[in-house]
Every structure is written in C-alpha cells, then in structure tokens.
Structure 1
C-alpha cells in the first residue's frame, strides 16, 4: 500500500474549518503526529495543493478527539494549528471556532451518546486545560445542522451550538494580567497583556497608524504594520512568561478602536501573521475581558458596558460577535463567558497520507 487511510470528519466550526479525527486513529508520538498533519493539510505550499488545507490560517486547523479521563469532561479536544506556507505545526494554542464543531463531531463519532432534543457535551481543551460545555441540537437523537442562526462571516443560517466557558482566566500563564500590569509600554507603545481563554497583546489601532476599521485584505497588504506588531509581540510574549514566541502563534494580537456600527468596540484580530477575517472565539473572550477591566488600553474607546451578566458586542471586519459575560466589580474578576455559534458537517470518509509519511516520519 502506497498510502495510509485515516477516518475523518470535515466540519466548519464557527468561521474556521478543518478535519476532525478520533485521536486513536493518529500517531501518539508528537513529532510523528506533526509530520502526518503537515501531509494532511499540505502545509509548506501557499495553496496547500497536496492536502486539504485552504491556503489560510483559518482553514489549516485540526481537531483530535478522545473520551476524557477527567471526571469533569466527556471529551478531550486536542488542537493543532498547521502552517500554510511553512511545513510546521503549533500545538500550543487552542481554537474556539474549531471548538464549535467538537460537540457535533464527538456525537457523530459515537464518542458521546446523543439525547433527544439537546445533548450537552463537556469538553476539556487539552492545549490549555479549559473546560467548556457545548449544547448541541439533537432532535430524535441525531445532530441537527439546519437552523435559523446566522453568524457574520458565514453565508446562510444553521442550527445553534452554544458554548459556555468556565475557568478561562489565566489559560496559559495562570494570571489575568501575566505581566502584573493592566498596561505595559513596549518601544513607546502602550499594550495590555491579557490571558483570558487566549493570551493576547492588545493595543489601540491608532498607535499603529491605522483606524482599526480597515478590511482584512488592506491590513494583510501592510507589511510594515506586521513587522511593527511582530517586534512588539515577541517582547510581549517574553514579558508574559511565554518565552521565545518567534515560532508560536501565541500571544495573538488585537488592535482595538471605537465602534462605528453600534457595538461596544471594534477590533482587528491577528493570528498573528495575518488578519483574521472575523475574530476568534477565544480571542473575543480575551478582548471582552480587556474592555471590562479597569486601567487597560481599552479605556476611553469602549462604549459603556452594562452590569453583569451582559452581552459584549464586538465589531470585526465582517460584522459583529456577541460574548455573554459574567463578571464581578469589587474587586474586578472575569467569571465566565459564552457564545452561540454554528457548525456544519461538510464531508466524512478517509484521508490518505503517503505510506512513507505514516511509517517513517
């Protein structure tokens, strides 16, 4: 046999998409696994022509699922961000959009039994240790994908998948403000280093010479902007205790500005080497936390946000995202966050990787 088959599901989760695997069907050795995933995606080519990647960071993501041995969870969700033009894999972050498809995929794989009506799926994000409960529509004991919920960045409507995030503060560093400060100055620019669901470096768009309302395409063409942001991100990563983040997608970058379309604030979210077409689910929680916390770079830009619980509305290049937030004020503490997104099963079957990759990586 010249190729090795791997069972898979292919889902859109939120505004990302990728293959979902049963972890039992993949190599356990991390280096071997990385080589297999590079082959699956076709990483190392801008079009991912020899794999199923889509040539962008939101279409080169992989989810690996297994039953959890954690009594608080049903499913372990292990995430991999595979490169586009670079043949590499980053196992350090998680992805909230791909997470949207984990509940449906776990039910489709038979890892979680479906109920009639709504099936709750308790998920442990292996990369960060976060716990999330997904509520999946399962009338008649089968996952429902059609529905009337629309999310900006995805055409049409679909059935809702509700995610409730617990214990998101200090996801990687153990601290809301990993540097100990609500604001740090790096090379003359004020930034807030925040770790809620996803470690981020957040700054004002105006401090980088942009409005914060540009299109993703306009921003991706601004190479000087990316060079400037990356220099600050590397130092922010060091100060956050993340070490050398040169080859890591964490921390992500958010540049915020005043809202124009009725939201609480606007953001341009970077992954970090290109612009997200919308905003990541994990990133949206971190941005909402930054907007609520006193003394951050968000002060003066954010439209007043009501008392807890509240829906924080974030404007992004393709519309808005709402994050349901619970928080305390005296002293400030971010309690929990929830979002409603959609997912769709696009394909199922077998993915083929060269036998030499499977056997010899």
Structure 2
C-alpha cells in the first residue's frame, strides 16, 4: 500500500502529515495503517521500522473544513511506542504551525505573495486559529531570518493567532479569582493564579518553593522533597479548578509553573540568557517532573496570566507591553495574549505566537499489505 504523505517540522516537533481522505474511513483500519507507518509498537522504543520519532511519534490528518469560516480541519494523533495505540485527544501546538503550509502545498488555500492566511480548526478541541504563512512565487516560503530555540537553522516566521470562541468564551479563572489561597497539607498557605487557557496551569512564585527561578530541570528533578511539595500544591490546585474531586489522585492536568522576576541565567544548552531579553522566568512541571522547555500551550497560559491584574505572574513580570518574553530552561519564548473582563469573568480574546515550519520530505509512505 502506498499513501501520499509529507514529513514536516513545526516548531521543534516533527510529524507525518496525511490527507484524511487518503486513509481508510474505518477508524480501526486507519489506526492500524498509521501504526505501521510510524513503526509502532516497538519494544525497543525507537520506531526502528517506521517514521515515528525516538519517543512518541505524531501523525496529522488534514481535510477540508466542515465549517464555512475555516479552510481546513486537522486532527493530531500521538502514537505510543510500546503498545499499538494512538491518542487522538491531544494536540501539539508546534505542529499547528505546519498545518498552514501543508494546506497551501496541498491546494486547500491558494498562495498569495507576501502572506497567506489559513483558517484552521483543531478537531479535538474546536479551537480556531489563523496561520499567517509567508509565501512567494505561489508557494510557502521556508527560508528566512526567524530563529527559535531548539531549531538550529533560521526560517520564515509563521504567526499563529489563536481566536477565542465566538460565543461564550470560557472563563480563564475557574474559581472566579485572579489569585487563590491554597491551603496545602504539609506545605501551608500558598498564593496561586489558576488559569484554564492553553494548558491548564497552577502558577506560583518560585520563592514560595525556596527557588530563585533560574534552576535547570536537573536541579529540580533531583530533589525528591521539593517535587513532593510541588505535587501537593498542584493537586490542591486541581481540586480548586474542578479538575479533581480530591487531592489524593489528581489527573495529569493542571501543570504547575514556578515564576520569578527576570534574571540572567545559563540555559540547558549552556548559552547565557541576558535578563534584558526576557520579562519573566518560568519553570514548568508536568507529570511530576520539571520540563526541559516550555510548550506553546503553556506559554499561552503564562501570557494570559501575565495580563491579569494582580496575578502571581504579573507581580513577577517586568512587562514591556505587547508579548510576554518568557525565560525557560531551554531558552526564550515570546507569547502575546489579549484578555477582557466580561460579566465579571476574565476571558481570552486571542493569543499570538510565532513559529516556523518546513517540509522535510514529501512522497509516498509505503505500508506492508498486512498491517
């Protein structure tokens, strides 16, 4: 079996892109084909016989949108390594940057010189975003001078504009407060800002955990007592946000983020980040461990929190106006967020972030007949 496919980079992530109509319509048959394409399951964890990554692989399905105000719908699947399973419930904001160029390459949207806007709907969440893709001579432009942490070569800048739902956007603060007081057993009272935008996150000051905010993941992950205290805070935040009935067995969301005033620091790659390049320091923990970077969705949550008057993040940030420049373990990330107070509740009107993307390969994915 041969299936047209593109292998694309979006941000620092890579995935195999397909037209949804080129795959079997039955979900079980479709997933069996995609598992074979990526080389899963692989007990060695390398996807050696497929196009998956060294860890989890990602596949993206694109089709003409069902909505008149969008050009394409896309669905992202995260392929497990050691078992034959694809999780279609999540999203990768980095790969969202590649959907716009893919839609242009595949003829869903005609390229316009200068910038072509592609209207995208994420099928899993219903989120609508506009991808502003630089184009030249009838196709997406991939070369440029835009640099992003974790990508070794400069490229053309793609601006992603995340739009709020047209009707009744959800409140950003699930408790109705910009700052909550969490009474955490074994820790004490902790001030936190709880935000449901992007990736649901509990924001606390790094100083409240005895940190300065410049620590690298190895320092945080090597302290079992610190991790236990942070998990207790996160669990209490999950209860306050209505994501868990109690703090005994909280789900993987929300994440917890430690924020601090800007300062110079050395990132994981060894480069020195000047304090003047950022507005706020952030270290985020997910699934009980400090992350080596900052995802786009976590960046959106932080930028939203920074815009809320009196929030924990705003207290720490030296905001320069416009986008919030975040100093994380791997480097920097700039995210813009516009919020508004409606009927007594804060809502997100839009979020803006820049990424780059390019085709790594286009052709046919070859799949054995027995898959």
Q: Trace 1:236-247 onto structure 2 (pairs within 5 A).
A: 236-237=237-238, 239-242=240-243
Are the equivalent residues in 2 in contact too, given 1:145–1:159 (CA < 8 A)? yes
Aligned pair count? 348
Q: Which residue of 1 aligns with 2:14?
A: 17
Say if 1:114 and 1:266 are closer, same or farther in 2 by CA, change over 3 A: same
Q: 1:186 to 1:161 in 2, by over 3 A?
A: farther
Using structure 1 for the length normalisation, give the TM-score. Answer: 0.81
Q: Does 1:326 align with 2:324?
A: no
1:251 aligns to 2:263 (yes or no): no
Identify which of 326, 332, 346 aligns with 2:360. Answer: 346
Please state how far the C-alpha of 1:64 moved relative to its aligned partner: 1.6
2: CA distance between counterparts of 1:211 and 1:223? 18
Relative distance call for 1:333 and 1:42 in structure 2 (3 A) is same
Residue in 2 aligned with 1:199?
200
| TM-score, with structure 2 as normaliser | 0.79
Tell me how far apart the structure 2 counterparts of residues 259 and 117 of structure 1 sit (CA, whole Å).
36
Secondary structure at the residue paired with 1:101?
helix
- Contact 1:90/1:248, CA 8 A, preserved across alignment: no
CA contact (8 A) 1:92 1:248 kept: no
Describe how 1:132-211 pairs up with structure 2 within 5 A.
Answer: 132-167=129-164, 174-182=170-178, 183=180, 185=182, 187=184, 188=188, 189-211=190-212
Offset at residue 166 of structure 1 (A)? 0.8
TM alignment of 1:209-288, pairs within 5 A = 209-219=210-220, 229=230, 233=234, 236-237=237-238, 239-242=240-243, 250-260=253-263, 261-262=275-276, 263-272=278-287, 275-288=290-303
1:199, distance to aligned residue in structure 2 (A)? 2.3
What SS is found at the alignment partner of 1:284? helix
Unpaired runs of 5+ in structure 1? none
Q: Match of 2:272? A: none
Q: Is the 8 A contact 1:163 1:339 kept in 2?
A: yes
Q: Could you give the per-residue CA deviations for residues 285-344 of structure 1, whole angstroms, max 9, x where no partner exists?
A: 1111112213433253222454xxx12111112321112333447975532221222112
